[in-house]
C-alpha cells in the first residue's frame, strides 16, 4: 500500500518545485529536446529509439554549465525501427475501420541508447518541443502513448518520468523481467517476451545438448544482469555449472573488455552463453577478434542472435554455428517499398535524413569534404545492402509494428466508449495484424512467449544464414524442450515425405489426399472433414421436394395435371356439340385421362428413392405414355379410315368404335406385359452411387435391367413413329376437320424431346439424370396437350360459330 503514497509524494514535491520556479521548470522540460521526426495529428504517438549508438562525454565543472550531449554514429537498424513506426501510423491513417475520422501523428526522439538522453527525451515527450517562458505549463502531455525504447535500462529511466503521469509505454525491445512488476510499472507494456522465459529457455537448451559446464558473459545493465541472474538460477536447477560470469558495458574502458576476453580464453568451458545487448556484443567481438578467440560454441540471446551486422565475414570465424533464441520472424506487407522511398528530399531540413543518406552511400552533402564524393539525393536505396534495407529478418521491426497497432486499437476502443457513453471500457487488447498473428497482453503487460531456435549455418556461398531449427513455446506444459523442425510430427491431415539429399529424420509434410485421415482412406460411405482429422458420413444427394429444382418440377407437374382436368371438364360440358363429336369424344376423354397420368407420374421421380417408388416410376411412366400414344394412334387411324373409305357415313359407325377400343387396349397391354416381365425378373431398386462423386453419395434408382428400360422407351417410340407416319400421310385431308396436321406437329415435338433426352440422360450426373427425365416427360406431355387440344378449346370457348356440323363438313351456309 506504500506505492500510491510514494507516487503522490513525488507529485507533491514536483508541484512544490513548480510553485517555486514554474517558468524555469517548464523551460527545462521543453527547450532542450526536440523530436527528430514529427507529424501533427489529432492523436500523437511518441517514439524513442536509439538512433545513434555513441554519445559524447561532457566535461563537468562547478564553474560552467555542462556542455550539451552530442549523439553520433547513426544506427541503421534503429532507424529502420523508427521508419517502421511511421509506416504503421500511415497505414492506420489510411484505414477506415480503425480510428475513423481521427488522424494519428507522431514525435520520434533519439535516446542514444543511454540513460541521460533518455531522461531528456521523457521530458520532451511530456511537455512538447516549444520553448516555454510563460508562468504556467500547459499541464497536458504532448503525446498519448509512447513506443520505445530499445533497451531495458533506458526504458526504466523513461518510465520513472512518464509513469508518474500514467502515460502508457509500449516497448518493442525491452526484455528485462523486472518490467513485469505491475506495482512498479503499471503503465508499461511490451510486444517482446520477458527474459524470464528466455533465460529459462536457454537453460533448457544447454541441458538438451548435455552441456553441463559453461561460461557466461552479460551486459552490465538491467537487461544483462537480470537475464543472467535468471539463467544461472535456472541452470543450477537443471544441473548445469557456470564456470564464470562476466559483465561488460559499451561505455566501459577497453582494459575491462580485454580482461573479460582473457577470462574467457583461460576458461575450460567450451560453451559461452552471451546474454548481451547488440552494442555490447559488438564491443566484445572486436576484442575477441583482436585476441583470436575461436573454437567456442556461442549460445546467444535474442538481442544479437539474428543481427545481420554481426553475421558478416569479419566475425563469421568466431560466431559460426552459434545457437540461440530469436523473436519470431514475420512479414509486413508494403514495408520494404516504404523504406526504399525514404529520401532526404522528403524533409530537406532534417539532419537525420541527411546523415542516414551519407552513411548509406558513403558520400557527403558538404562539398568541402576532401576525399568524399558528393551526395546528390538521387541515389537509389535498392543498390544498397545494409541493416536499414534488409527486411529478410523482420523480428524486432514487427514488434514495433504491433506496438503501434496496440496503441491504435486501445484508443479506438476508448473512443467508441466515449461515443456510446454507456459501455464498459476493457483494458485488455486483442487484435490480429495483417500477417495473421494474434496480439494480446497478459496481466503483466507481456505477450505470449514464443521463440524461434536459430542456428548460424553456412550456405553454398559460404555466407552465414540464420536457419530456424526449432520452436520454443513457454505456454507448453512443464516448459517443454525446444522442438526440432526435422523431427517435428506432421499435423493432422498431412503425411511425411522424405527430402532428397537429407537424412531420414528430416522430412516435409505434404497434405493428405481428399477423403483421407492420417493419409488412410476413409470407409466407402465416409469422407474426411476439412481438417482431415476424422471421417464423417458422406452427404447423400437426391432430387428432393425441398430444393428449388424439385419444387419447380413438381409445380409444373401439378399445373399440367390441373390444366388437363380443366380441358376434360370443357369437353364434358361441350360433349354434345359437333366439334367434340367429330373429335371422337371417347378417345378424347381417354387421351386426356392418360395425359393426366403422364403429368402425375413425374412426381414419382421426386423424393428419396425407395423400393416401391423405383418400381413405380418407370413402369407408370411407360404404361401411361403407351396408353396416351395408343389413343392418338387410334384417333389417327380413325381419321384416315373416315376420309379414305368410299362410304364413310356407314363405315365409321359400324367398325370404328370396336377398332378403336381394340387398338388402344392391345397396344397398352403389350407395354403392360413388358413392364410385368421387367418387374418380375430384374426390377429397379434404390442404389447408393459412390463412383461418380467421391465426396458424396448419390441415391438413385438402379434400372435393374437397362435393356427392359430401353425396350419400354423403344416401344413408346415405335407407337409415336406409327402415329407420325399415318398423320403425315393424312395431312392433306379437308382443313376444317383435319386433326392429322396437329397430330403430326405433336409427334414432331414428342420425338424431338425424347431424341434429345437420350444423350442428356446418359451424360447428366446424379440427381440431374432424374431432372432430365422429368423434364422430358413434362415437355412431351405439354406438347401433346397443347398441339391436340388447344385449337379445339379455342373454337369451343372463343369461336362458337365454328362449332357447327356444316363447318365441320366444309360446307357453306
Q: How confident is the model at residue 642 (pLDDT cuts 50, 70, 90)?
A: low
In this structure, what DSSP letter does residue 511 have? Answer: E
Give which of 158, 196, 155 is closest to 174, Cα–Cα. 155
Q: Say what the pLDDT of residue 279 is.
A: 85
**HEC per residue, 94-162:** CCCCCCCCCCEEEEEEECCCCHHHHHHHHHHHHHCCCCCCCCCCCCCCCCCEEEECCCHHHHHHHHHHH
Distant-in-sequence, close-in-space partners of 648: CB < 8 Å, separation ≥ 6: 641, 642
Q: Say what the pLDDT of residue 652 is.
A: 47
User: Using CB atoms within 10 A of its CB, is residue 687 exposed (0-12), middle (13-18) or buried (19+)?
Assistant: middle
Alpha-carbon distance of 320 to 781, in angstroms, equals 86
Answer for the pair 99, 415: CB distance below 8 angstroms, yes or no. Answer: yes
pLDDT digits (tens, 9 = 90+) for 61-94: 778 777 777 889 999 999 999 999 999 999 999 9
With both helix axes pointing from N to C terminus, report the angle between 152-162 and 222-237 in degrees, rounded to the nearest 10.
Answer: 120
Alpha-carbon distance of 214 to 202, in angstroms, equals 12
Share of the chain above pLDDT 70, in %: 85
- Sheet arrangement for strand 685-689: 539-541, 696-702, 685-689
User: At 634, is the secondary structure helix, strand, or coil?
Assistant: helix
Answer for the pair 334, 95: CB distance below 8 angstroms, yes or no. Answer: no
**548-641+654-730: CATH architecture:** Up-down Bundle (1.20)
Distant-in-sequence, close-in-space partners of 307: CB < 8 Å, separation ≥ 6: 77, 278, 281
Phi, psi of 329 (to 5 degrees): -80, 150
Q: Say what the pLDDT of residue 505 is.
A: 62
Alpha-carbon distance of 126 to 622, in angstroms, equals 93
Torsion angle (degrees, nearest 10) of CA 372, 374, 375, 381 = -60
In this structure, what DSSP letter does residue 47 have? Answer: E
Answer for the pair 79, 56: CB distance below 8 angstroms, yes or no. Answer: no
33-45 average pLDDT score: 90
Q: What superfamily would CATH give domain 30-55+69-130+137-192+395-438?
A: Response regulator (3.40.50.2300)
478-489 average pLDDT score: 52
User: Using CB atoms within 10 A of its CB, is residue 272 exposed (0-12), middle (13-18) or buried (19+)?
Assistant: buried
**Helices of type H across 548-687:** 548-573, 578-582, 585-601, 611-644, 648-681
More confident residue, 526 or 267: 267
Q: Say what the pLDDT of residue 724 is.
A: 82
User: At 164, is the secondary structure helix, strand, or coil?
Assistant: helix
Residue 429 has pLDDT above 90, yes or no: no
Give which of 268, 215, 275 is closest to 240, Cα–Cα. 215
Q: Say what the pLDDT of residue 767 is.
A: 79
Place of cell 509494428: 401
Q: How confident is the model at residue 434 (pLDDT cuts 50, 70, 90)?
A: confident
Torsion angle (degrees, nearest 10) of CA 412, 418, 423, 427 = 40
In this structure, what DSSP letter does residue 64 have? Answer: S
Residue 755 has pLDDT above 90, yes or no: no
Q: C-alpha angle 221/227/231, rounded to 5°?
A: 140
Q: Say what the pLDDT of residue 807 is.
A: 64
Pairing of strands 271-275, 526-528: unpaired
Alpha-carbon distance of 777 to 769, in angstroms, equals 13
In this structure, what DSSP letter does residue 52 have? Answer: E
Q: How confident is the model at residue 4 (pLDDT cuts 50, 70, 90)?
A: very low
Torsional sign, CA 252, 257, 263, 268: positive
More confident residue, 494 or 474: 474
Answer for the pair 699, 609: CB distance below 8 angstroms, yes or no. Answer: yes
Residue 12 has pLDDT above 60, yes or no: no
More confident residue, 622 or 765: 622
Residue 150 has pLDDT above 70, yes or no: yes
Alpha-carbon distance of 107 to 813, in angstroms, equals 108
Alpha-carbon distance of 408 to 246, in angstroms, equals 41
**Helices of type H across 695-765:** 706-729, 740-763
pLDDT digits (tens, 9 = 90+) for 258-287: 999 999 999 989 999 999 988 899 899 999
Alpha-carbon distance of 741 to 729, in angstroms, equals 10
Residue 353 has pLDDT above 80, yes or no: yes
**HEC per residue, 186-226:** CCEEECCCCHHHHHHHHHHHHHHCCCCEEEEEEECCHHHHH
Q: Say what the pLDDT of residue 203 is.
A: 94
Element (H, E) at 244: strand 241-248
Residues in the chain: 813
Q: Say what the pLDDT of residue 732 is.
A: 64
Domain boundaries, the chain: 30-55+69-130+137-192+395-438, 195-301+308-328+449-473, 494-537, 548-641+654-730
Alpha-carbon distance of 106 to 40, in angstroms, equals 7
More confident residue, 738 or 130: 738
Q: How far apart are the first and last CA of the chain?
A: 123
Least confident of 135-144, 699-708, 748-757: 135-144
807-812 average pLDDT score: 54
Residue 358 has pLDDT above 50, yes or no: yes
User: At 388, is the secondary structure helix, strand, or coil?
Assistant: coil
In this structure, what DSSP letter does residue 532 have? Answer: S
Give which of 188, 159, 127, 144 is closest to 7, Cα–Cα. 159
Pairing of strands 188-190, 213-219: unpaired
Give which of 258, 277, 218, 251 is closest to 54, Cα–Cα. 251
Alpha-carbon distance of 57 to 35, in angstroms, equals 22
Fold match, 30-55+69-130+137-192+395-438 / 195-301+308-328+449-473 = yes
Q: Say what the pLDDT of residue 747 is.
A: 84
User: Using CB atoms within 10 A of its CB, is residue 685 exposed (0-12), middle (13-18) or buried (19+)?
Assistant: middle
Average pLDDT, the chain: 82
Q: How confident is the model at residue 498 (pLDDT cuts 50, 70, 90)?
A: confident
pLDDT digits (tens, 9 = 90+) for 554-592: 999 999 999 999 999 988 888 788 777 767 777 888 889
Residue 344 has pLDDT above 90, yes or no: yes
Residue 14 has pLDDT above 50, yes or no: no
More confident residue, 425 or 196: 196
Q: Which fold has domain 195-301+308-328+449-473?
A: Rossmann fold (3.40.50)
Residue 470: CB atoms within 10 Å: 21
729-to-344, 733, 741 alpha-carbon distances in Å: 97, 9, 10
Q: Say what the pLDDT of residue 198 is.
A: 93
pLDDT digits (tens, 9 = 90+) for 645-654: 554 444 444 4
Least confident of 30-44, 108-122, 160-174, 371-385: 30-44
Least confident of 71-80, 365-374, 776-785: 365-374
Question: 149: cis peptide before it, omega within 30°?
Answer: yes
Residue 483 has pLDDT above 50, yes or no: no
Alpha-carbon distance of 161 to 119, in angstroms, equals 7
More confident residue, 427 or 346: 346
Alpha-carbon distance of 360 to 381, in angstroms, equals 8
Element (H, E) at 90: helix 76-93
Q: How confident is the model at residue 141 (pLDDT cuts 50, 70, 90)?
A: low
Torsion angle (degrees, nearest 10) of CA 205, 209, 212, 216 = -50
Amino acid at each position: 500500500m506504500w506505492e500510491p503514497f510514494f507516487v503522490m509524494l513525488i507529485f507533491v514535491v514536483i508541484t512544490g518545485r513548480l510553485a517555486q520556479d514554474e517558468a524555469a521548470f517548464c523551460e527545462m522540460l521543453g527547450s532542450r529536446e526536440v523530436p527528430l521526426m514529427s507529424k501533427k495529428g489529432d492523436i500523437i504517438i511518441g517514439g524513442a529509439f536509439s538512433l545513434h549508438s555513441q554519445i559524447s562525454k561532457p566535461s563537468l565543472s562547478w564553474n560552467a554549465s555542462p556542455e550539451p550531449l552530442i549523439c553520433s554514429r547513426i544506427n541503421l537498424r534503429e532507424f529502420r525501427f523508427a521508419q517502421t513506426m511511421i509506416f504503421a501510423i500511415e497505414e492506420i491513417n489510411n484505414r477506415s475501420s480503425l480510428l475513423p475520422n481521427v488522424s494519428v501523428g507522431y514525435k520520434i526522439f533519439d535516446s542514444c541508447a543511454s540513460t541521460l538522453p533518455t531522461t531528456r527525451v521523457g521530458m520532451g515527450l511530456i511537455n512538447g518541443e516549444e520553448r516555454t517562458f510563460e508562468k504556467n505549463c500547459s499541464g497536458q502531455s504532448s503525446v498519448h502513448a509512447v513506443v520505445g525504447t530499445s533497451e531495458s535500462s533506458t526504458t526504466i529511466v523513461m518510465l520513472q518520468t512518464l509513469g508518474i503521469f500514467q502515460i502508457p509505454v509500449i516497448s518493442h525491445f525491452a526484455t528485462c523481467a523486472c518490467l513485469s512488476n505491475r506495482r512498479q510499472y503499471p503503465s508499461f507494456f511490451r510486444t517482446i517476451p520477458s527474459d524470464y522465459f528466455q533465460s529459462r529457455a536457454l537453460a533448457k537448451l544447454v541441458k538438451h545438448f548435455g552441456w553441463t559446464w559453461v561460461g557466461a558473459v552479460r551486459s552490465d545493465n538491467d537487461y544483462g544482469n537480470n537475464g543472467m541472474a535468471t539463467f544461472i538460477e535456472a541452470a543450477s536447477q537443471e544441473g548445469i555449472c557456470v564456470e564464470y560470469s562476466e559483465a561488460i558495458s559499451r561505455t566501459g574502458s577497453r582494459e575491462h573488455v580485454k580482461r573479460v576476453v582473457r577470462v574467457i580464453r583461460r576458461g575450460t568451458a567450451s560453451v559461452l552463453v552471451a546474454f548481451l545487448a547488440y552494442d555490447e556484443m559488438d564491443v566484445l567481438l572486436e576484442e575477441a577478434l583482436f585476441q583470436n578467440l575461436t573454437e567456442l560454441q556461442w549460445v546467444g540471446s535474442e538481442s544479437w542472435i539474428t543481427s545481420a551486422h554481426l553475421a558478416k565475414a569479419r566475425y563469421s570465424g568466431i560466431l559460426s554455428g552459434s545457437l540461440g533464441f530469436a523473436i519470431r520472424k514475420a512479414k509486413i506487407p508494403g514495408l520494404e517499398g516504404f523504406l526504399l522511398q525514404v529520401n532526404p528530399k522528403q524533409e530537406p531540413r532534417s539532419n537525420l535524413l541527411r546523415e542516414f543518406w551519407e552513411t548509406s552511400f558513403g558520400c557527403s552533402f558538404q562539398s568541402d569534404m576532401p576525399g568524399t564524393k558528393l551526395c546528390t539525393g538521387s541515389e537509389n536505396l535498392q543498390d544498397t545492402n545494409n541493416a536499414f534495407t534488409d527486411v529478410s529478418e523482420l523480428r524486432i521491426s514487427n514488434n514495433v509494428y504491433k506496438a503501434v497497432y496496440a496503441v491504435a486499437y486501445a484508443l479506438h476502443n476508448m473512443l467508441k466508449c466515449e461515443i456510446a457513453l454507456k459501455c464498459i471500457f476493457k483494458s485488455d487488447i486483442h487484435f490480429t495484424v495483417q500477417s495473421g498473428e494474434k496480439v494480446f497482453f497478459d496481466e503483466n503487460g507481456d505477450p505470449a512467449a514464443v521463440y524461434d531456435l536459430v542456428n548460424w549455418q553456412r550456405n553454398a556461398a559460404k555466407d552465414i544464414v540464420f536457419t530456424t531449427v526449432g520452436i520454443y513455446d513457454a505456454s507448453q506444459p512443464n516448459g517443454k524442450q525446444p522442438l526440432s523442425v526435422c523431427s517435428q510430427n506432421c499435423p493432422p491431415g498431412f503425411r511425411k515425405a522424405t527430402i532428397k539429399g537429407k537424412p531420414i529424420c528430416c522430412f516435409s509434410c505434404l497434405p493428405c489426399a481428399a477423403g483421407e485421415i492420417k493419409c488412410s482412406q476413409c470407409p466407402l460411405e465416409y469422407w474426411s472433414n476439412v481438417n482431415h482429422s476424422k471421417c464423417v458420413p458422406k452427404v447423400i444427394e437426391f432430387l428432393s421436394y425441398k430444393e428449388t429444382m424439385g419444387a419447380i418440377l413438381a409445380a409444373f407437374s401439378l399445373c399440367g395435371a390441373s390444366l388437363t382436368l380443366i380441358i376434360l371438364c370443357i369437353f364434358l360440358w361441350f360433349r354434345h356439340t359437333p366439334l367434340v363429336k367429330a373429335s371422337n369424344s371417347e378417345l378424347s376423354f381417354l387421351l386426356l385421362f392418360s395425359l393426366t397420368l403422364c403429368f402425375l407420374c413425374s412426381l414419382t421421380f421426386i423424393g428419396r428413392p425407395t423400393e416401391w417408388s423405383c418400381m413405380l416410376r418407370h413402369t407408370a411412366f411407360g404404361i401411361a405414355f403407351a396408353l396416351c400414344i395408343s389413343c392418338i394412334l387410334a384417333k389417327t387411324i380413325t381419321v384416315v379410315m373416315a376420309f379414305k373409305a368410299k362410304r364413310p357415313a356407314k363405315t365409321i359407325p359400324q367398325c370404328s368404335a370396336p377398332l378403336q377400343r381394340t387398338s388402344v387396349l392391345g397396344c397398352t397391354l403389350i407395354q403392360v406385359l413388358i413392364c410385368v416381365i421387367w418387374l418380375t425378373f430384374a426390377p429397379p431398386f434404390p442404389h447408393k452411387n459412390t463412383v461418380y462423386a467421391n465426396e458424396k453419395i448419390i441415391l438413385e434408382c438402379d434400372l435393374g435391367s437397362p435393356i427392359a428400360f430401353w425396350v419400354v422407351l423403344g416401344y413408346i417410340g415405335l407407337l409415336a413413329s406409327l402415329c407420325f407416319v399415318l398423320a403425315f400421310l393424312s395431312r392433306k385431308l379437308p382443313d376444317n376437320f383435319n386433326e392429322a396436321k396437329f397430330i403430326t406437329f405433336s409427334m414432331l415435338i414428342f420425338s424431338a424431346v425424347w431424341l434429345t433426352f437420350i444423350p442428356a440422360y446418359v451424360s447428366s450426373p446424379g440427381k440431374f439424370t432424374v431432372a432430365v427425365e422429368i423434364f422430358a416427360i413434362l415437355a412431351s406431355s405439354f406438347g401433346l396437350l397443347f398441339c391436340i387440344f388447344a385449337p379445339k378449346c379455342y373454337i369451343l370457348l372463343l369461336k362458337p360459330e365454328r362449332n357447327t356440323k356444316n363447318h365441320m363438313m366444309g360446307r357453306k351456309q
